Structure 1
Amino acid sequence: MIGVDAGSGDLLALAVLTQYRMATTEQMHRVIAPSARIEQTRRRLARLREEGLVDRITLPQAGRTRVWFPTAYGVQLASEWPEMRGRRPSRTVSDPTAVRLKAGHTLTVTETALAFLEDARRRGDMCRPLDWIPEVHHPIGSGEAVIPDALLYYRHGPSASGNGSMLRAFVEVDRATMGPERLAAKLTAYERLHRYVPVVPGRRPTFQEPAVEEWRRRYPLFPRLLFVLDGTGATGIENRIRALRAGAGLLAPSHFPYDVPILAAPLADLLQHGPSAPVWRPVHEPGRRVRWTGSGHRQT
């Protein structure tokens, strides 16, 4: 878990925008200061804008919603902080035109982050704003990589007593901008990441230093995989879940779909009931409804 000085609201606001890439005024308020008045968040963002650290655009098709994003200077400054080392997205957006083009997907990813953050606050679990890390680069060889929409760190249970469990998840947010088959193809990439062992030129594995999968250098257990589905009605959701199930079946004889929890849920259900509710469907058994915090293996 990442600890940013909560007393420095400006620091946290810039760190969140740098890491999340963009957010509306309301989203920023809900992330950094939900117990304060929203006017305080507006003043904070305006101050950061005056200092050249953040900027904004207005989306006319969304009730003239203001969308905030970090400037190149803001990204450079935030990236120097120890809390942000290696945490900024692989594709930072600091250009107003690029922000406008990417706003639909990125703001949906930010709304998904808020679903987890606010659910953790209600339940007494531990999930801080910077525990949602968009677009972490994971190489899988041949110059290719898996870049999930977000990597989530989440401590579930009574963390104060030391009995809680640390959960990690790769989160993929799909707004139905690609066909179900292309969505399901992502499972193949994650299966490759699960078994990918990097080859070091001129160095052979030994008994003392055996070759290990790349992901083990970062995680004690492979993060569970969560597909958050949006942009269609119930029929579209069912089509994509069926495609994910078919995609998992094509991974045979790999045990990846059984060794790693792979779950799917509509964003609408997360917003209505909270991510901790039993709204998730295992892709290999979509008739079931489970909790993402309890399905599969326990992570530490």
Structure 2
Amino acid sequence: MSPSPSLAPQARAAGLSRFGQQLLPVLYQHRLVATSQLHRLLTPHTRRPVYLLRQLGRLRAMGLTESTDRRTGRMGRCEQLWYITPLGCEIVEAGGEVTARSYRISPRAAASRLQEHTLAVVETGLAFTEWAERLGDECGALDWEPELAHRVRDGDSRLGDDAFLVPDAVLRYTRATGDGRRQLLTFFLEIDRSTMQVAKLGRKLGAYARYASYIPQPSGRRQQVGTREAWRERYPAFPRLLIVLSGASERVLRRRTEDLRALASANSLVAQGSRLRAGITTAELLGRYGPFAPVVTPVLGDAEPTDILLADAR
């Protein structure tokens, strides 16, 4: 990933290296990333992240990044998790390379239980980037964006859980089809580490189906009727939904898949007439076999595994 020309003036003013210019937008967009994940994402050609750690240390000395520790495994191995500081955010936002966000991760949030879910979202994006490299496709470090809000209800109030649909991430993937053409694919990602009640995840399926047909209605006294779905302003086609399960045994994940399929079939909004194409996989299957292997169980219809295209999901 080459540094963005728009970031270069601000980066040079701050004394950033070219690699530092790559790092800051990644940390800004993904909020919290483990050293091992940054290594796979930005320096996969090196055996050990020596240069990466040197650059991260330099950014921290400049007040642009910080880190917190995470202990993993039975031996309590410690790994650093990196995030951007408010000063680092100012530099990235001045460059205009990524979508500006008001959210700022704090040291407390970085060390909280939220870190596991944030890292799981990054891990899912990494699976796509690594397989894109193997397959000759395109999916880079900034090709997935976490928590983009999509309005699914009219009204002036911004309050209420049902007013907005917020996927864990929106991912864009460009596939080489083999005949010289390129296919742009967009996905809503929902990451479930087996900590959410299946019923709640099932209700979110209904929110996706509602967004697929949501037509905003103009406010005001005159009775006007909108005719264009809201998603058409953001996407060339309605994104596929991919639910990625982890955090439990294969037997438990299989049962969660079955329960989700049952809930979807019982939800008339999801099952009837929706554009929604949705599938369920596991982080382990996606990482091991890749997105174009039969690793996805459709939410509706035949349970025969397919790939992320979900061509026959309806």
Q: TM-score, normalised by structure 1?
A: 0.88
- How far apart are 1:235 and its partner, in Å? 2.2
Give the equivalent residue in structure 2 for 1:113.
125
Give the equivalent residue in structure 1 for 2:229.
213
Supply the AA of the counterpart residue of 2:31: R
Alpha-carbon distance in structure 1 between the residues aligned to 2:193 and 2:152: 25
Give the equivalent residue in structure 2 for 1:156.
175
Alpha-carbon distance in structure 1 between the residues aligned to 2:133 and 2:81: 25
Measured on the aligned residues, the alpha-carbon RMSD in Å equals 2.5
**SS at structure 1 position matched to 2:21:** helix
Match of residue 56, structure 2, among 45, 51, 54: 45
Q: Deviations for 1:166-194, whole angstroms, at most 9, x for unmatched residues?
A: 00000001001111111111101111211
**Relative to structure 1, is the Cα distance of residues 134 and 279 closer, same or farther in structure 2, using a 3 angstrom cutoff?**
same
Matched, 1:252 2:273: no
**SS at structure 2 position matched to 1:129:** coil
Matched, 1:10 2:26: no
- How far apart are 1:241 and its partner, in Å? 1.2
Alpha-carbon distance in structure 2 between the residues aligned to 1:159 and 1:22: 36
Alpha-carbon distance in structure 2 between the residues aligned to 1:199 and 1:190: 18
Match of residue 99, structure 2, among 85, 89, 101: 85
- How far apart are 1:290 and its partner, in Å? 0.7
Q: Deviations for 1:133-178, whole angstroms, at most 9, x for unmatched residues?
A: 11111111253211111100001115994x1110000000100111
Supply the AA of the counterpart residue of 2:176: G
Contact 1:180–1:240 (CA under 8 A) maintained in structure 2: yes
**SS at structure 2 position matched to 1:84:** coil
**SS at structure 2 position matched to 1:168:** strand
**Relative to structure 1, is the Cα distance of residues 15 and 217 closer, same or farther in structure 2, using a 3 angstrom cutoff?**
same
Alpha-carbon distance in structure 2 between the residues aligned to 1:49 and 1:160: 46
Alpha-carbon distance in structure 2 between the residues aligned to 1:33 and 1:21: 19
- Gapped regions of structure 2 (runs ≥ 5): 6-16
- How far apart are 1:293 and its partner, in Å? 3.3
Superposed, which structure 2 residues align to 1:155-234 within 5 Å?
155-158=174-177, 161=180, 163-202=181-220, 205=224, 210-234=226-250
Supply the AA of the counterpart residue of 1:153: R
- Gapped regions of structure 1 (runs ≥ 5): none
**Relative to structure 1, is the Cα distance of residues 294 and 242 closer, same or farther in structure 2, using a 3 angstrom cutoff?**
closer
Q: Deviations for 1:6-60, whole angstroms, at most 9, x for unmatched residues?
A: 9932122110111111111111111122124511111111111111111001123
Contact 1:133–1:152 (CA under 8 A) maintained in structure 2: yes
**SS at structure 2 position matched to 1:57:** strand
Higher RCO, 1 or 2 (CA under 8 Å, sep at least 6)? 1
Alpha-carbon distance in structure 2 between the residues aligned to 1:3 and 1:212: 37
Match of residue 64, structure 1, among 78, 88, 93: 78
Supply the AA of the counterpart residue of 2:242: L
**SS at structure 2 position matched to 1:235:** helix
Match of residue 73, structure 1, among 87, 91, 94: 87
Give the equivalent residue in structure 1 for 2:11.
none
- How far apart are 1:276 and its partner, in Å? 2.5
Contact 2:172–2:184 (CA under 8 A) maintained in structure 1: yes
Which runs of at least 4 in structure 1 moved beyond 4 Å after TM superposition? 203-206, 253-258
Contact 2:26–2:142 (CA under 8 A) maintained in structure 1: yes
Give the equivalent residue in structure 2 for 1:280.
296
**SS at structure 2 position matched to 1:80:** helix
Bigger-Rg structure (1/2): 2
Alpha-carbon distance in structure 2 between the residues aligned to 1:274 and 1:4: 28
Alpha-carbon distance in structure 2 between the residues aligned to 1:205 and 1:220: 25
Alpha-carbon distance in structure 1 between the residues aligned to 2:223 and 2:274: 31
Supply the AA of the counterpart residue of 2:133: R
Relative to structure 2, which stretch is displaced further, 267-276 or 112-121?
267-276
Give the equivalent residue in structure 2 for 1:99.
110
**SS at structure 2 position matched to 1:153:** strand
Give the equivalent residue in structure 1 for 2:282.
266
Percent pairwise identity: 33
Contact 2:278–2:310 (CA under 8 A) maintained in structure 1: no
Give the equivalent residue in structure 1 for 2:14.
none
